Amino acid sequence: MKILMFGWEFPPHITGGLGTACFGLTKGLVKHDTEVIFVVPKAYGDESQEAVRLVNASDVNIDLDKDEEREYWDRVQYMEIGSNIIPYVGPEAFSKITEQEKRASENFKSKVFAQSYEFSGKYGLNLMEEVARYALIGSAIATKHDFDVIHAHDWLTYSAGVAAKETSGKPLVVHMHATEFDRSGENINTDVFAIEKNGMEKADRVITVSNLTRKIVIERYGIDPEKVVTVHNAVEPKDKETPTDVNKQVKEKVVTFLGRITFQKGPEYFVEAAHKILKRDPNVRFVMAGTGDLLHRMVNRVAQLRVGHRFHFTGFLKGDDVDNMFAMTDVFVMPSISEPFGIVPLEAMRSNVPVVISKQSGVSEILKHAIKVDFWDIDGLADAIYGLCHYSALSEDFIKYGKQEVENLKWEHAAGKVKKVYQSAFDSYLKQSTNS
Mean pLDDT of 138-148: 87
How many angstroms separate the CA atoms of 345 and 330, rounded? 13
In the predicted structure, residue 268 carries a pLDDT above the cut 80: yes
Which of these ranges, 236-245, 288-297, 305-314, has the smallest mean pLDDT?
A: 236-245
Given a contact cutoff of 8 angstroms between Cβ atoms, the answer to whether 173 and 149 are in contact is: yes
- The radius of gyration of the chain's CA atoms, rounded to the nearest angstrom, is 22
- Residue pair 379/356 in contact (Cβ under 8 Å)? The answer is no
Rounded to 10 degrees, the C-alpha dihedral 81/86/88/94 comes to: -50
Domain assignment present for residue 244? The answer is no
Q: How far does CA 235 lie from the centroid of its chain?
A: 13
Residue 248 located in a structural domain: no
Whether residues 42 and 107 share a domain: the answer is yes
Residues 280 and 415 in one domain: no
Q: Are strands 35-40 and 53-56 parallel, antiparallel or unpaired?
A: parallel
Residue type, position 418, single letter:
V
Q: Give SS3 for 258.
A: strand
* C-alpha to C-alpha distance for 246 and 244, rounded to whole angstroms: 6
What pLDDT does residue 202 have?
96
Helix/strand/coil percent split, the chain, to 5: 45, 15, 40
Q: Please say whether the beta carbons of 31 and 412 come within 8 A.
A: yes
Could you tell me whether strands 253-258 and 331-334 are parallel, antiparallel, or unpaired per DSSP bridges? parallel
Same domain? For 379 and 426 the reply is: no
Highest mean pLDDT among 30-34, 47-51, 357-361: 357-361
The pLDDT of residue 243 is 67
Whether 278 is in a domain gets the answer: yes
Could you read off the pLDDT of 48-93 as tens digits, one per residue? 666 667 676 666 665 555 554 455 445 443 333 333 333 333 333 2
Backbone angles phi, psi at 248, to 5 degrees: -70, -35
Q: How far apart are CA 164 and CA 434, in angstroms?
A: 21
Whether the pLDDT of residue 41 is over 70: the answer is: yes
What is the tally of structural domains in the chain? 2
At 21 the pLDDT is: 86
Number of C-beta neighbours around residue 211 at 10 A: 13
**Are 274 and 289 members of one domain?**
yes
% of the chain exceeding 90 in pLDDT: 55
> Is residue 400 domain-shared with residue 415, that is, in the same domain?
no
At residue 125, the pLDDT reads 58
Domain around 48: 2-234+411-435
- Both 215 and 272 in one domain: the answer is no
Q: Which residue has the higher pLDDT, 132 or 119?
A: 132
Q: Is residue 242 part of a domain?
A: no
Q: What percent of the chain has pLDDT over 70?
A: 78
Which of 404, 277, 249, 391 minimizes the C-alpha distance to 333? Answer: 277
**Where residue 106 sits, what CATH number does that domain have?**
3.40.50.2000
Work out the pLDDT band at 182, boundaries 50, 70, 90: confident
Q: Which amino acid is at 170?
A: K
Is 402 found in the same domain as 417? no
294 in any annotated domain: yes
Q: Which residues contact 320 (CB under 8 A, 6 or more apart)?
A: none
How high is the pLDDT of residue 183? 82
In a domain, 336, yes or no: yes
- Tell me the mean pLDDT in the region 27-32: 90
Average pLDDT of every residue of the chain: 83
User: Where do runs of H (alpha helix) occur along 32-185?
Assistant: 67-73, 127-142, 154-168, 180-184
Same domain, 179 and 210: yes
Residues 6 or more apart in contact with residue 132 via CB below 8 angstroms: 78, 79, 80, 112, 159
Instruction: Examine the domain organization and report whether 401 and 415 are in the same domain.
Output: no
Cα of first residue to Cα of last residue in the chain, in angstroms, is 23
Angle (deg, nearest 10), helices 267-280 and 295-304: 20
The secondary structure of residue 83, as a DSSP letter, is -
pLDDT digits (tens, 9 = 90+) for 199-245: 999 999 999 999 999 999 999 999 999 999 999 999 877 766 666 66
pTM of the model: 0.79
222 and 258 within one domain: no
Q: Give the C-alpha distances (Å, rounded to integers) separating 202 from 149, 160, 393.
A: 14, 12, 52
Please tell me whether residues 82 and 216 are part of one structural domain. yes
167 and 149 assigned to the same domain: yes
In a domain, 67, yes or no: yes
Beta-carbon contacts of residue 187 (< 8 Å; ≥ 6 apart) = 90
Q: How confident is the model at residue 105 (pLDDT cuts 50, 70, 90)?
A: very low
**Main-chain dihedrals φ then ψ at residue 157, nearest 5 degrees:** -115, 0
Taking alpha carbons only, the member of 119, 117, 177, 187 closest to residue 152 is: 177
The pLDDT of residue 8: 81
Residue 239 resides in a domain: no
